[in-house]
Structure 1
Amino acid sequence: MSKKRIYWACQVGGWTALMFYELLVYSLEDGFEWEMFYFAIANIMVCILLTHFYRLVVRERSWVSQPLYRLVPRVILSGLLLGLLMTLMNFPIDMHTLKEVVYSKPFLFFSYWLSWSKSMFMWVLSYTIYHYVESMHDTEIEKILLKTSVKETEAKILRSQLNPHFVFNALNSIRALVSEDPSKAQQSVTQLSNILRNSLLADRRKTVELREELKTVEDYLALEKVRYEDRLMADFHIDPKTLYLQIPPMMLQTLVENAIKHGVQKAVAGGFVQVTSFLENNYVHIHIRNTGTLVKKENDLEKHKEASGFGLENTERRLQLIYGEDSAKFRIFQESEDVVRAEIIVPIQTEGVFRNNTQSTIKSQ
């Protein structure tokens, strides 16, 4: 049943039950009179009219969106005003039919007013509380949806970024290969195309299989190998059990790019990049080791972060957005005198499980 039908059922049913109860009490004391029956019907219609008018005012003026210190006085005054209107309509008739009672009790009018105000206040309070709670619930849902939307937008921006300097350098390398080694140039164009395609698709997917991300990293390293030649050594130690597990797209490529830019590139004799993956305690561990030295001073560290662009901060922020504050971890540290290691630790997720968990999280919110 729709809310509109429930509302009218409560309106008609509630006021009918109240008026006929009072008619029954009156009939048991003074006997049934058709005049009082018709008067009860009139009261039902007037009560429905007045309370429905109150509903329109509440909706039109957006009372339920007001703070409690403003809403409470309005509810109390509304109950008193509606009670007064019903008293003004009923009291003259009671004066005609119950003259002796009215004249013997001079304060009967206020008693009538209090009685009608109590009935009206019960309706007004019930209606207002229901819609106030409903409004608060809708507001919370809107906040959650807005927060989710903002996070999703931020995550899309973060995971779709690709360093433009890399593209520029790759194109220069390919241009040099066109005359020297045309077949190698064609292969490099294909590799760059694969990287660009994965970058464009990254904003549509929260996670990808590790094997797909590794293919992007291999293409990236192959292009960088054209620039650095023997100065760049790449090594992979991948546990086959991790190949079909889910990780954020372009994250591994970003860290490898960071390793070359701030490690291998600065080493006079070049260096290496090593990617390792393994499973431990229901978590996927990914380590990126590279030649390099981390800056230690706080000011230098800030400069290092700015220079790395979206590298390190991107990784940490994306993990928080996808897995929450505590489920996934990222750290980068000096493993030895000239070796830096970055570690990503994420929960084991398959594509189907990740999608179901994400939907369950949103529903639970």
Structure 2
Amino acid sequence: MAKQKIYWICQFFGWTLLILVEYLAYVLEDGFDPDALYLAIANIFLGITLTHLYRLMIRRWNWVRLPFIQLAPRVLFSVFVLAVIMTVVNMPFDWQIIPDKFIAEPWPVIGYILSWGKAMLAWVLSYTVYHYVEQTRNAEIEKILLKTSIRETEAKVLRSQLNPHFVFNALNSIRALVYENPDKAQHSITQLSNLLRNSLLADRRKTVELREEIKTVEDYLALEKVRYEDRLTSHIELDGRTLFWQVPPMMLQTLVENAIKHGVSKAVRGGFIVVTSAIEADRLHITIRNTGVLGNKTASGGFGLENTSQRLELLYGPDAHFQIVQEDDSSDTPVVRADIIIPAQSEGLFRRNLKVMSDKR
């Protein structure tokens, strides 16, 4: 039922019940009087009119947005004004209908104001408190939605884009192949086109299947092999159960790109990159091992990969895990390992939150 309809039902039912109870008490004590009945009916509509005007006033001036210390005196003053109006309207008629009551009452005006003040206070407090609580709740919801929107914007900003230096180097490598190996050059152009397309689509999709992300990684590695030739070797080994697991788009490509840029390219004899995936304890584990030396062995940001950590946190919360460690630096071929862990329950929670956000839009 609409709030507006509920409001008017409460208005008519509440004021009718209040006035009729007082009228029945009068009838039981003094008997039926048509003038008293007409006055009771008039009071019902007067009470509805005055309280509705109060409603329009606080909505127009947004009283419910005020702090409590500013709202309370306004509410009390409004109750007093409404009680005075009801007193001024009722006293002349009651003087004609029940003059004996005024003789017995030394301070009738105060009694009237207090009597009507209680009724008005009950209505005003009920309405104001309800909308004050509702406004506070809506403000919290808006704050949450704003925070969600900010996080969504941050996630879009943090989604990886192809390094322009890589594109430049890839085009130079392809240019060298045009005369030497046209077929391979044509194939490389197709791979670069796939990379560019996936990079452009990255800000439109929150997650992609791991198998799709791996295709991007394979295209990237193929283009880099054109440049590094025998100095770069790679191997990808995936658990079949992980192929359809949802992961952030272009994330693995970013890690592989950093592995080549900061590891393989700096090794005199080149190096290797190995990408593996597995499911352990209902969690997706992705590992990237590569030749290299980690500058800061205690921080994941050694390769400037805060991007990956932030994206995982924005999408999956604190349950997701990312780190880069020096696996072996004692041998002639030091190895750096990057670990990514995405819990299954975080994936499901993300999908439900994504659906809620889409429905709100």
TM-score class, shorter: over 0.9
Moved more, 167-176 or 115-124: 167-176
Contact 2:300 2:323 in 1 (8 A): no
- Inter-CA distance 91–198: structure 2 relative to 1 (3 Å threshold): same
Which residue of structure 2 aligns with residue 164 of structure 1?
164
Which residue of structure 2 aligns with residue 333 of structure 1?
325
Contact 1:246 1:350 in 2 (8 A): no
Contact 2:285 2:339 in 1 (8 A): yes
**RMSD of the TM alignment (CA)?**
2.2
Amino acid in the other structure paired with 1:342: A
Moved more, 215-224 or 39-48: 39-48
Which residue of structure 1 aligns with residue 153 of structure 2?
153
Which consecutive residues of structure 1, in runs of 5 or more, have no partner in the other structure? none
Which residue of structure 1 aligns with residue 29 of structure 2?
29
- Inter-CA distance 181–271: structure 2 relative to 1 (3 Å threshold): same
Residues 132-147 of structure 1 correspond to what in structure 2 (within 5 A)?
A: 132-147=132-147
Tell me how far apart the structure 2 counterparts of residues 81 and 191 of structure 1 sit (CA, whole Å).
78
Contact 1:236 1:274 in 2 (8 A): yes
- Inter-CA distance 297–335: structure 2 relative to 1 (3 Å threshold): closer
Structure 1 length-normalised TM: 0.92
Aligned residues: 355
**Partner secondary structure for residue 145 of structure 1:** helix
1:128-147 CA-to-partner distances (Å, cap 9, x unmatched) read 01111111222122122222
* 1:168 CA displacement: 1.2
Tell me how far apart the structure 2 counterparts of residues 33 and 140 of structure 1 sit (CA, whole Å).
53
Tell me how far apart the structure 2 counterparts of residues 92 and 106 of structure 1 sit (CA, whole Å).
16
Kindly indicate whether residue 95 of structure 2 is the aligned counterpart of residue 103 of structure 1: no
* 1:239 CA displacement: 1.5
Contact 1:207 1:351 in 2 (8 A): no
1:304-362 CA-to-partner distances (Å, cap 9, x unmatched) read 55xx4xxx11110010011112x110000111101111000012379988634643699
Tell me how far apart the structure 2 counterparts of residues 244 and 117 of structure 1 sit (CA, whole Å).
68
- Inter-CA distance 76–142: structure 2 relative to 1 (3 Å threshold): same
Contact 2:160 2:254 in 1 (8 A): no
Which residue of structure 2 aligns with residue 323 of structure 1?
316
Residues 41-52 of structure 1 correspond to what in structure 2 (within 5 A)?
A: 41-52=41-52
Kindly indicate whether residue 340 of structure 2 is the aligned counterpart of residue 344 of structure 1: yes
* 1:88 CA displacement: 1.4
Tell me how far apart the structure 2 counterparts of residues 70 and 23 of structure 1 sit (CA, whole Å).
37
Residues 3-152 of structure 1 correspond to what in structure 2 (within 5 A)?
A: 3-152=3-152
Tell me how far apart the structure 1 counterparts of residues 149 and 248 of structure 2 sit (CA, whole Å).
18
- Inter-CA distance 195–160: structure 2 relative to 1 (3 Å threshold): same
* 1:160 CA displacement: 4.6
Which residue of structure 1 aligns with residue 267 of structure 2?
267
Tell me how far apart the structure 1 counterparts of residues 300 and 98 of structure 2 sit (CA, whole Å).
91
Structure 2 length-normalised TM: 0.93
- Inter-CA distance 118–149: structure 2 relative to 1 (3 Å threshold): same
- Inter-CA distance 10–349: structure 2 relative to 1 (3 Å threshold): closer
Tell me how far apart the structure 2 counterparts of residues 316 and 120 of structure 1 sit (CA, whole Å).
57
Amino acid in the other structure paired with 1:334: Q
- Inter-CA distance 35–349: structure 2 relative to 1 (3 Å threshold): closer
**Partner secondary structure for residue 324 of structure 1:** helix
Tell me how far apart the structure 2 counterparts of residues 30 and 115 of structure 1 sit (CA, whole Å).
20
Tell me how far apart the structure 2 counterparts of residues 208 and 349 of structure 1 sit (CA, whole Å).
17
**Partner secondary structure for residue 272 of structure 1:** strand
Contact 1:209 1:243 in 2 (8 A): yes
Tell me how far apart the structure 1 counterparts of residues 347 and 70 of structure 2 sit (CA, whole Å).
50
Tell me how far apart the structure 2 counterparts of residues 208 and 145 of structure 1 sit (CA, whole Å).
24
Tell me how far apart the structure 1 counterparts of residues 250 and 215 of structure 2 sit (CA, whole Å).
11
Amino acid in the other structure paired with 2:148: T
**Partner secondary structure for residue 266 of structure 2:** coil
* 1:92 CA displacement: 2.4
Amino acid in the other structure paired with 1:274: V
Tell me how far apart the structure 2 counterparts of residues 225 and 255 of structure 1 sit (CA, whole Å).
16
Which residue of structure 1 aligns with residue 355 of structure 2?
359
Which consecutive residues of structure 2, in runs of 5 or more, have no partner in the other structure? none
Contact 1:245 1:349 in 2 (8 A): no
Amino acid in the other structure paired with 1:89: V
Residues 274-293 of structure 1 correspond to what in structure 2 (within 5 A)?
A: 274-293=274-293
Which residue of structure 1 aligns with residue 174 of structure 2?
174
Residues 201-216 of structure 1 correspond to what in structure 2 (within 5 A)?
A: 201-216=201-216
